[in-house]
Amino acid sequence: MANVFVVEDSQPMIELLQELLANVGGFDVVGSCSTEAEAKLWLEENPGAWDIAVLDLVLAQGSGIGLSAHAKRTHPAGKPVVFSSYASPGIRAHCLKLGADAVFDKNESPAFLDWLAANR
């Protein structure tokens, strides 16, 4: 069972992710938040409590772009993955450079689900 931390500002998207993870199986959502500050605090207070962090880039406050690096600092074995509507080639390269294990546009859901299944 892989523990998943979700950073997403859209409640409907959080619910969709939870449903997708339940359908794939082998995942437990251990936390979620909608702002950069909340995400950083949760990561600092829960090092090692997550295996995969699903990160959106556009948040209610702040940005998810630097959260991959922050996540890796708090839990080097964890796998931050960006799942955002703004995953252009340049943003994708920048996120990977900052420590994301993978980057997916939200319209790449099948590839995202394949990655999750391979990393649980």
CA distance 12 to 119: 24
Q: Which CATH number fits domain 2-114: 3.40.50.2300, 3.40.50.720, 3.40.190.10, 3.40.50.300?
A: 3.40.50.2300
Show me where the domains of the chain are located: 2-114
32, 71, 99 from 48: Cα distances, Å:
15, 10, 16
pLDDT of residue 23 exceeding 90: no
At 106-119, the pLDDT tens digits run 999 999 999 999 99
The string of pLDDT tens digits covering residues 34-92 is 999 999 999 999 999 999 999 999 999 999 999 999 999 999 999 999 999 999 999 99
Whole-number Cα distances in Å, 27 to 18, 24, 45, 56: 9, 8, 21, 18
What's the pTM?
0.96
pLDDT for 43: 98
